[in-house]
Structure 1
């Protein structure tokens, strides 16, 4: 199990943002970056067992 999970954050064509984990099937979306961060935390908790939660890093392209 990886100890770090990197999320690629992109602007959604319809507005807002989408985030996807590199190397894992974890995806989420939100209207703003603050909401996206909370949604990523929730998605990670749902995808992994609590004792093996990875550290989350965001990769934001230059807009």
Structure 2
């Protein structure tokens, strides 16, 4: 894994929708659809690092 790469494990939630957990970082989010989950992941990563100039590549793994 590269320094600017964050891998998310994506799973269907038992309650419906999807959950995403970053591997190696304390970043978690959930959503009702995959498209909304992608948006939530981007927002969660930006909030976690609190740096607007942080460049990253997000990888989804299910």
TM-score, with normalisation over the residues of structure 2?
0.88
Give the secondary-structure state (helix, strand or coil) at the position aligned to 1:34. helix
The aligned runs of 1:16-35 (5 Å cut-off) are 16-35=17-36
- Offset at 1:53? 3.3
Structure 1 CA distance, aligned partners of 2:40 and 2:25?
A: 16
Structure 1 CA distance, aligned partners of 2:40 and 2:31?
A: 7
Q: Which runs of 5+ in 2 are unaligned?
A: none
Structure 2 CA distance, aligned partners of 1:45 and 1:22?
A: 16
Which residue number corresponds to residue 36 of structure 1? 37
Structure 1 CA distance, aligned partners of 2:54 and 2:40?
A: 18
Q: Which runs of 5+ in 1 are unaligned?
A: none
The aligned runs of 1:1-63 (5 Å cut-off) are 2-48=3-49, 49-60=51-62
RMSD: 1.4
- Equivalent pairs counted in the alignment come to 60
